[in-house]
Each structure stands twice: as structure tokens, then as C-alpha cells.
Structure 1
């Protein structure tokens, strides 16, 4: 019989539905193992902050350590020394370190992920990049498994993470049984299907902010970089440099993101055909709009509408 010991860190303000959801999912996996005769059992240990120092002192070893999401920014805004030391010690003894959503910040603070690619919630991407500029991150992915480091994106992606860990410790058949019991779709999906473009307006550059505000109301108009630079009263070269620094995108990419977000909203909120939507958001070539939409969102416009719109008023 193979026994796996899993630690779930119930740090302050962690999402309790995820903390206990992990434990319940692994218990259901144990039941599936018993039913199929697989000689594997998973024991979950929910560790609170007061437990971690004792764990460090006794040098307890776990096969995996899970960091659940949190709704409280203060929980991950600064490095927590005890959590950091615990993660490093467990990793040195072979533990798989796993994070969901904002839990990725704790892993990045440890320095153990610098040569690994990670994901986190798409809405946390800007803050994550600001805090960890050298860390490779791809928030289009729901889950990234780097072997000894597994990270999951959105707040409910702890379920994806739990199933991924179950598969690593058991087999695909157990995961299929578990997904049927939980009625969870294990089909391929990406986090970018759900992302919304949220421009950064909090950068302090008044000239760039004026251009951003103008684009929010005039994104359907064709605006060249020279036009935008003139609006900002900057030379084109200076404008490009400042715009990229403030927004993380060049002006054309930024304009495309605004337009595609508007297209997403129209697909969800109206019954207009995509050809009409493409013209409304500023594309003269519908094919170009469709290609850009799929590149950014990871879905065709029709697939996007099918996924997110159950019914619309006629």
C-alpha cells in the first residue's frame, strides 16, 4: 500500500472552501481507489500558521504542499517568513509544491520557481509581474505542471489542481471516476477564455492616461501612433516608450485588446452576428477581427458565444 501525505496550508484569510475542498476531494479519491482495488491512499493534513513552526522543528515531510486561494490581498502582499521557510524545507525533501490563484505569490516569494513557468488568476497578472519581474508566467493557462511545481489560475482552479495531483499520485482512471462523482468537466480549457481586459490606469503618467481615456470612448476609430502621440503632446518615439512602460502593451496591441473586449461584451449581451459586431468595434475586415479574437481569447467568436451565453432575449 502506497501512502501519500498531503499538507494544505490554511494561512490567514485563505479560502476555506478550497482548504476543506482539497481534503474532501482526496477522500473521494481514496474511495475510488478502494473501489478499483488500487493500493494508494492519500492523507490530508490541514496546517494552520501555529502548526508550521512545529512542523519545521520536527522536520515533518510531505509528498505535496498545497497553497489555496485567498480573497484578501494583505495575505500575499509581503513575504511570510514561516511559510517561506516551510516551503523551502519541504521542497528540499522532495515535496511537490502547488498553488491555486493567489497562492502563486507564496511560491514566487520562495525563489524556488524562478526557472519554472507559473500561472495565477488573470486579474493578478499585473501585480504579479510587478512583484516578480523575472518570473515566467502565462495566465492564459488554467494549470501548469512543472513536475515539482504545479500552479493553477482562477479562484476555483483549486479543483483543477486537486484533480491534477490525484492523477499524479494515482492514475487517469481514478481521475475519470472522480470527475464523474463530482460532475466536473475535465475537458481542455484555458483561463484566457474567461479573462477580461482591465487596463492599468494607476501609473501616474497624465499624458498616457489622457490617451487611454480617449481610446476608451473612441476605440472604433482608426488611430495611428502618430495621432495618439500628438494627442499626448509627445514625440512618437517618446510616446511609444512611455505607453509601453505604463500599460505593458504597444498602442496597437492595447487598441486591439479594447476592441476584442468590446466584441466579447457584444457577443454575450446581444444577438448581433459577429460580422456586425466586428464593424461596430472598428474592424473593416471581419476576417482580421475573427483572427485577432481567436488569438487573444483562445476561442472562435461562435465558440465563445456558445460557451458563455445560454440564452438571450429576442
Structure 2
């Protein structure tokens, strides 16, 4: 029987504690109903017997304290909420326990913004990780030694797992069910919870706002210029000349400040504008393409799919209410 320890950190998202517990106990119920032994011993583990959450709106009673769990097979770190630096500080006493369990052979998975706590252990240094796209820039700034897998639903390697944003954590949980209990059980669980199994990307849900939390004013002005001139063909040479910076130096500064090359930034700004047109208007794909400065249909579709994971028409069908109807 696998021992699963679901951590209950301070500032945790309650659903990210309840959902994995419900999922793994449901697997046990299915096995028992089939005349088999349960596969999992599921415990809620924390630093106190009762952990208040959401400004004391909720409280979770733990099954065991960390110092009472000498060895476990899987540690689940739920999503955190609020200020990430503060949340990490409040939960710093959990970090040695997570490292100890990993060094003793346990697997560790973070759900959504739980990646911030997992990264704080140092276990992810030199490795890849997924988290919610909304705080991707903050994650990179706090953990430069971790490679953030943009758009990925699940990242795994060396007994470490992480998931993308919000409900994406269901997919990493399904992945673990399949690993421990087989594909047939994973499919059954996905049907029971009405989940799309094998979902790989959160790219269709990413909203690109541009990274402007930096102090490089010429680069910030270059970003604003790009955003205000969507329909124009803007070259890197034009931008470098406009802001009186050498081309190679401009590219380096832009990448450092925004985590995108100038060419990538131009593409992402245009595609973000195209997404809004597809979501909110009745314009067809060609009209939208021209509105954001593309003139070649093949190029537009290729870039759009690269960034969103969907073709423009599939994106419109998924997110435009009139189109869906």
C-alpha cells in the first residue's frame, strides 16, 4: 500500500487539499468494490493539528504532524495563495521535512502555485517545473536556477512532479493514479470526475500581459511602442535605432527584462490581440489576421498554434460564445 502525505501548508488553497484526498480515496473505494485491497493510505499532514486557511474562513484538521511521519511514498504540496514570499516564509518549517522525505525515496509533486514551495527546497535546481502561467515571471525571478516549462500541464523527472495552473493539477494527479494503479483505473477516475485525460498544455488559457516589472525604461518604452503599433511591421533594427541602442545590446537587454526576445514579444502581443478579437467579435480568421498586422495566412496560423496550442478557428470555436452556440 502506498503512503500518501498531502501537506496542509499555511495559505494553502483548500480545494487543492480536498481534491487529491477525494481522488485517491475514490480509487480505494473502486478497488474495495471490486473485492481488492485499497492501494493508498492517505493522510493530511501539517505542522499543527488544525491549520486555518483563507483568513480563518476554513480550518483543516490534519491526520498527523510532520514529525510523526517518518517515511512516506508520495508528498503532495497543494497550491498556495496570496503573497508567495510571505507564504514561503510562513511554511519554511515544512521545507526540511519535504527534503528528508525525498532523500528517503519519496516522490514529491506540487500542484499549481505549490511549485513555489517545492522550488524553495532547492530540489528543483537545475530541473524543469510547471506552475500557474499567471505568476510565471515572479517564479523565474525568485528561482533563476529552475527551468520553468511554459505552458506545460505536467513536468516530471527524478521523482519530482509539478502541474500547471488551477484545475491543471487534476492531470498530474491522474498521471500518478496511472503510475500507481494502471491505465484502466486512471481512465475510470477521469470519467468519474469528468476530467480530460492526457491534457498536456495550458497554453490556450495563458493571457499575455508583457513583463513590465523591471527598471529598464528604454525597454519598457519599446514594449509600449510594440503594443501601440500592432498593425505595423516592426523590425528589431527599427526598435534599436528608435531607442538609440545597438542591435545586439538591445536584444540582450530586452530578453533580460522581459524573458522574451523582441521577435517573440512582437509575436505574443499580436497573438494576444488576435485572441481577444476571436473571443469577442464575429470577425473571421482572415479579418483578425489583418487587424493584428499579419498578411500571410499560413504564417499567422503557424504562430498562433505555436503560442496557444490551437488553430485560430479551433480557438474561436472554444472561446467565442456565438461560435460555440
**What TM-score comes out, normalization by structure 1 length?**
0.91
Larger mean CA deviation between 209-218 and 160-169 belongs to 160-169
Give distance in 2, aligned partners of 1:313 and 1:154. 24
Give distance in 2, aligned partners of 1:35 and 1:311. 44
Counterpart residue number, 1:44: 42
Offset of residue 149 of structure 1: 0.8
4+ residue runs of structure 1 moved beyond 6 angstroms?
none
Counterpart residue number, 2:119: 108
Give distance in 2, aligned partners of 1:118 and 1:86. 20
Residue 22 to residue 153, structure 1, CA distance change in 2 (3 Å): same
Residue 226 to residue 79, structure 1, CA distance change in 2 (3 Å): farther
Contact conserved, 1:76 with 1:105, CA < 8 A, in 2?
Answer: no
Contact conserved, 2:317 with 2:324, CA < 8 A, in 1?
Answer: no
Contact conserved, 1:6 with 1:62, CA < 8 A, in 2?
Answer: yes
Contact conserved, 1:211 with 1:232, CA < 8 A, in 2?
Answer: yes
Counterpart residue number, 1:62: 72
Tell me which of 193, 205, 225 is aligned to 2:216.
Answer: 205
Larger mean CA deviation between 274-283 and 74-83 belongs to 74-83
Is 1:280 aligned to 2:291, yes or no?
yes
Give distance in 2, aligned partners of 1:118 and 1:206. 30
Offset of residue 57 of structure 1: 4.2
Give distance in 2, aligned partners of 1:22 and 1:152. 13
Is 1:71 aligned to 2:69, yes or no?
no
Contact conserved, 1:208 with 1:242, CA < 8 A, in 2?
Answer: yes
Give distance in 1, aligned partners of 2:131 and 2:249. 32
Residues 208-247 of structure 1: per-residue CA shift (max 9 Å, x gap):
1112112211121112222212322333333222222211
Contact conserved, 1:116 with 1:149, CA < 8 A, in 2?
Answer: no
Residue 187 to residue 135, structure 1, CA distance change in 2 (3 Å): closer
Unaligned runs of 5+ in 2: 50-61
Q: Compare relative contact order (CA 8 Å, sep 6+) and give the higher one, 1 or 2.
A: 1
Contact conserved, 1:40 with 1:170, CA < 8 A, in 2?
Answer: no
Unaligned runs of 5+ in 1: none
How many residues were matched structurally?
311
2:108 aligned counterpart, secondary structure: strand
Offset of residue 58 of structure 1: 4.5
Counterpart residue number, 1:271: 282
Give distance in 2, aligned partners of 1:312 and 1:292. 22
Give distance in 2, aligned partners of 1:236 and 1:311. 45
Contact conserved, 2:236 with 2:247, CA < 8 A, in 1?
Answer: yes
Give distance in 1, aligned partners of 2:87 and 2:11. 10
Where does 1:61-100 land on structure 2 (aligned, <5 Å)?
Answer: 61-74=71-84, 75-78=86-89, 80-100=91-111
Where does 1:81-230 land on structure 2 (aligned, <5 Å)?
Answer: 81-146=92-157, 148-230=159-241
- What's the Cα RMSD here? 2.2
Counterpart residue number, 1:14: 12
Contact conserved, 2:8 with 2:78, CA < 8 A, in 1?
Answer: yes
